[in-house]
Chains A and B, each alone.
Chain A
Amino acid sequence: MPILETTDLTKRFGRLTALDKVSISVNQGEIYGFIGPNGAGKTTTIRTLLGILQATEGGASVFGKDAWKNAVEIHTRVAFVPGDVNLWSNLTGGEVIDFFVSLRKKHDKARRASLIKMFDLDPSKKCRTYSKGNRQKVALVAAFASDADLYILDEPTSGLDPLMEQVFQECVGEVKKAGKSVFLSSHILSEVEKLCDRVSIIREGRIVETGTLSELRHLTRVSMNIATKTPVEGLAQMAGVHGVTENKGVVSFTVDSSELGAVVERVSKYGVTKLESMPPTLEDLFMRHYNLDANGGAAANGGNRR
């Protein structure tokens, strides 16, 4: 049974359709990436999963319970990091962390201390004086210090420096080792590639692609640079080959993963002197989905974050 599931989840704000039949499901022990451009509906989905917003149509359930009706019960086992962390300006970071963790029964003092150290956070400062990254750390410490079964993280590393991103990835790794599940919304693709078992791409409120990373890579292209003794004939006309350019004897092009074998076979006949290939990245996939209908309206404006 999936830990988290939405079926044809639709959310409308007046005439604006923020989510249109979103169906996702996260299994126990899985790290699930939820990626999409700004305003695509990531935060709205998460708010619905948390029972902050009520679905217009369709359903959202967590631990098999209705996300709206059983919000409080569900939240005893959920940890959440918002994308835009807003804190109480006149409380210190330490006070806020302790308040957050004490709302849940199970929490770990030693863990809190080690997390504060790992994230290099000064908990004695007023939240007013924290930078964006430091506010993010407060939310991360509060989330990882609580012993939850599901971690819902909304762009958790925005504002963190690369060192702290590393620390964050370690935290997620530990959580995964303990058999917990993570729902990670992000637009930082390297992070998703590193961490996630499965990925959904959302765009303008609709899920456009779902699958494991290797499944999705079938849809991506490999970049190649080759040099051959004699020019390769008819390369540009081959199926699956795109964007052939030549520069000082080096031919660059991209090729659909499914056609890679045929292309290599053909090229090898011309005496290869240089062969470089760049693996397909999620980035490529992502970019392609962005550009699907570049004219058909850019991503919906700015989400509903304040």
Chain B
Amino acid sequence: MKTEFCNTSRLTGFIFRRERVVSIAWIVILAFFCLVVPIAFENLYPSTADLTGLLDMLKSPTMAMMMGPIYTTGAGINIGQLNAAMMILYSATAAAIMNIFLVVRHSRRDEERGRLEVVRSLPVGRLSNLGSVLIVALAVNLVLALVLGLGLGALGVDGITLLDGLTYGFAVGVCGLFFAAAAALIAQIFASSKSAIGVSFIVLGVAFIMRAYGDVSSETVSRVSPLGLVLRVQASAGDYWWPIVALFIVSAAVAAVALYLNSLRDVDQGFIAARPGKKTGRIRTPLGLALRLERGTLIGWAIGMFAIGAAYGSVLGDLGAFLNASDIIKQMFASNAAMELAPQFTAKILSMYAIVSAIPSLIILNKLRSEEIRGRAEQILARPVSRYRLLAAFLGIAAVTGVAMLFVVALGYYAAGYSVAPQLADLALTLRSSLIYIPAVLCTCALAAFLLGFFPRAQIINWIYLFVSFVVVYLGDILKMPVWLKRLTLYGNIPRIPIEDVRVWIMIVMIAAAAVLAAAGFKGFRERDLGA
């Protein structure tokens, strides 16, 4: 046993050294959001009355699906409870993403790139690398839990004691640890880092959807999902630690299985046997190549978006009951009292997933950049293929994908909605609520093309912009963010039909901007040195 883990501590130190920037950046950014939001809440909702007003809205199925159930101690709600309800789920999801990347980066990807081979040629045990990665993950999550916990506890915000803060922090940390262990396990089964990351994200997606469905319809389903389970700590309300302990034990078991599988297999192999592939190919054009390369992304995202749409659509039935139960709620939720609740719910959900729809588009355009850096674009362009044609292939697929995602999420939403509450489901309206975001999605793609043409190293700007847009659209109302901030995002400018009127000129301006950005992007991509 000892030889299996030989030199683990040195390897751990080495991974820490390679990780120091990325993990610290993740923790700092996560902590920033988690600590700023409760302060903002305190400033925005100074009185108990303000908070109680919110409570009814928070108890709606929409909110339960988006953020999880709300836990309170008495009739009212305090800042801590509001914060826990709004933030734990998303903090835990972010921690999960951080851990998936962390673990796959140092396990399967190092192996795939042949780095592990060099390490293994040294006096290092067979399980040392995976063991070190798991130790690093444990440490990173512990630091994250303590930073969040102590930070929140030190804020002195109403309703967050040190214990409340630590409960929140450790709920997030243990969720991260679970996904680290899960990713380690998945990385043993699949032989490429791409599949390992893909499948890990599918697991995360399933956990999210199970929780969304469970929080409205079934407590058991929610508890099976790790994301649902960590919400059951009821931070600032009950501060139960059993979900943390339970998830920690599960994580340890999953990690043990991962180590066991690692000891069984050969380097570079997975448990899913590689079949011989095609001897000849049918890819004829750059467009065909881009489609083939991104096939997995496209199918995976389409299924995911349909599923998430369906999960939200399935609440329409509960929404009907909820609506009839209370007139006050109806008033609370609707800024326009004449409106029905269902279309509003639809518009709110689809506005959020419109932003998510742009993610696969950005992934596809980023792919072109990595083709360039890795020298593969060079091999295509050394043949009679113009740079315009290459960029057009990727940009075209990105744009069509974004639009298709809007369509698919709406379709999933409608299909599930129709099956539970036919009288509330409206296909035309659902599609319109989603497809109205087409100009914003196109603009996002065009911005990516523009950056690719002129500032190829600055693709991150687009990701940050999209992330900020999500925060503003998601939290803007409840954080009472100024309107101009919303106007700065593409998505905040799109009217949420049917709540708001369609402003045609905004659509026209956005599409024109997209055309100009894209055209400039083509020009820049043609004129610059590749690989720069």
Which of B124-132, B161-169, B274-282 lies at the binding interface?
Answer: B274-282
A99 on the B face (CB < 8 A): yes
Select which of A97, A125, A128 is within 8 A of B112 by beta carbon. Answer: A128
Within 8 A of B (CB), among A80-97: 80, 82, 84-92, 94-97
- A: residues with CB less than 8 A from B are 47, 50-54, 71-73, 75-76, 78, 80, 82, 84-92, 94-100, 102-104, 123-126, 128-129, 139, 152, 304-306
Most chain A beta-carbon neighbours within 10 Å: one of B276, B373, B379, B382 = B382
B529 contacts the other chain (CB 8 A): yes
A305 to B373, CA, bound (A): 9
Contact assessment for B194 and A90 in the assembled complex, using a CB-CB cutoff below 8 Å? yes
Q: Which residues of chain A come closer than 8 Å to B278, judged between CB atoms?
A: 92, 94-95, 124
Say whether B386 faces chain A, with CB atoms less than 8 Å apart. Answer: yes
A128 to B195 alpha-carbon distance, docked (Å): 13
Partner of B375, one of A53, A54, A82, A128: A82
- Which of A51, A53, A80, A306 contacts B374, CB < 8 Å? A306
How far, in angstroms, from A84 to B374 measured CA to CA in the complex? 10
Known: A98-B283, A103-B384. A52 touches B530 (CB 8 A): yes
A80 to B378 alpha-carbon distance, docked (Å): 10
Whether A306 contacts B375 by the Cβ 8 Å rule is yes
Complex interface: chain A residues within 8 A of B23 (CB):
none
Which residues of B sit under 8 angstroms from A98, Cβ to Cβ? 280-283
Whether A86 pairs with B381 at a CB distance below 8 angstroms is no
Kindly list chain A residues whose C-beta atoms are within 8 Å of the C-beta of B386. 71-72
| Cα–Cα, bound, A292→B48 (Å) | 84
Can you list 17 residue pairs at the A/B interface with Cβ under 8 Å?
Answer: A47-B530, A51-B381, A52-B531, A53-B529, A75-B381, A80-B382, A80-B383, A86-B376, A88-B289, A89-B112, A90-B192, A91-B292, A94-B280, A94-B281, A102-B285, A103-B286, A139-B379
Chain B interface size band reads 35 or more
Which residues of the partner chain B approach A78 to less than 8 Å between Cβ atoms? Answer: 382-383
Q: Are A94 and B277 in contact (CB under 8 A)?
A: yes
Q: How many A-B residue pairs have CB under 8 A?
A: 124
Q: Would A82 and B277 count as touching, CB distance under 8 A?
A: no
Contact of B481 with A by CB under 8 A: no
Closest to B288 in A: A99
- With A and B bound together, what is the CA distance between A85 and B194 in angstroms? 20
Contacting pair A52 B374 (CB below 8 A): no
Complex: how many Å from CA A94 to CA B383?
18
User: In the assembly, what is the distance between CA of A80 and CA of B285, in Å?
Assistant: 18
Q: Which of A54, A99, A102 has the largest count of B CB atoms less than 10 A from its CB?
A: A99
**A132 CA / B278 CA spacing, docked (Å):** 20
Q: Does B293 interact with chain A (Cβ within 8 Å)?
A: yes
Please give the residue numbers on chain B whose beta carbons come within 8 Å of chain A beta carbons, in ascending order: 112, 192, 194, 268, 274, 276-286, 288-289, 292-293, 373-376, 378-386, 527-531
Would you give the shortest CB distance from B415 to chain A, in whole angstroms?
31
Interface of B is mostly: loop
A92 pairs with B281, CB closer than 8 A: yes
Q: How far is the CA of A123 from the CA of B280 in the complex (A)?
A: 8
Rounded to whole angstroms, the CA-CA distance of A129 and B382 in the bound complex is: 24
B contact residues around A47 at 8 Å (CB): 378, 530-531
Q: Which of B276, B293, B375 contacts A90 (CB under 8 A)?
A: B293
Given A89-B192, A91-B292, A99-B281, also A126-B375 (CB < 8 A): no
Are A52 and B378 interface neighbours, CB within 8 A?
yes
- A51 CA to B527 CA, complexed, in Å: 10
Give Cα A47 to B377, complex, Å: 12
| CB <8 Å contact, A102 and B382 | no
Bound complex: CA of A88 vs CA of B194, how far in Å?
A: 12
Residue of A nearest to B281 (CB): A95
Identify the closest chain B residue to A101 (Cβ). B383
The answer to whether A104 and B277 have CB atoms under 8 Å apart is no
Contacts of A100 in B (CB 8 A): 379, 383
Give the distance in Å from the alpha carbon of A138 to the alpha carbon of B376 in the complex: 13
Contacting pair A124 B277 (CB below 8 A): yes
10 shortest A-B CB distances, which residue pairs? A95-B281, A92-B277, A98-B281, A80-B382, A99-B283, A124-B276, A76-B384, A103-B383, A75-B384, A94-B279
Closest residue of chain A to B381 (Cβ to Cβ) is: A52
Residue ID in chain B nearest A96 by CB atoms: B281
Q: Are A306 and B373 in contact (CB under 8 A)?
A: yes
Q: Please indicate the chain A residues that have their CB under 8 angstroms from the CB of B374 in the complex.
A: 86, 306
Q: In the docked arrangement, what's the CA distance between A146 and B112, Å?
A: 31
Contacts of A304 in B (CB 8 A): 531
Contacts of A86 in B (CB 8 A): 374-376, 379
Judge whether A123 and B279 touch: CB under 8 Å: yes
Q: How far is the CA of A208 from the CA of B528 in the complex (A)?
A: 29
Bound CA–CA A100/B386 (angstroms): 14
Out of B288, B376, B383, name the residue touching A88 (CB < 8 Å). B376
Closest to A146 in B: B383
A91 to B379, CA, bound (A): 15
Measured between beta carbons, the chain A residues less than 8 angstroms from B293 are: 88, 90-91
Which residue from A82, A89, A91 sits with its C-beta under 8 Å from B281?
A: A91
Q: Whole-angstrom distance from the CB of A58 to the nearest CB of chain B?
A: 15
**Cβ–Cβ < 8 Å partners of A96 in chain B:** 281
A305: chain B residues within 8 A (beta carbon): 375
> Contacts A78-B382, A124-B276, A128-B192 given: A99-B530 contact, CB under 8 Å?
no
Q: Measured between alpha carbons, how far is A304 from B22 in the docked complex, in Å? A: 26
Contacts of B383 in A (CB 8 A): 75, 78, 80, 100, 103-104
- What's the nearest-Cβ distance from chain B to residue A264, in Å? 50
Q: How far is the CB of B375 from chain A (nearest CB, A)?
A: 5
Q: Whole-angstrom distance from the CB of B289 to the nearest CB of chain A?
A: 6
A124 to B373, CA, bound (A): 26
Q: Which of B274, B279, B286 contacts A129 (CB 8 A)?
A: B274
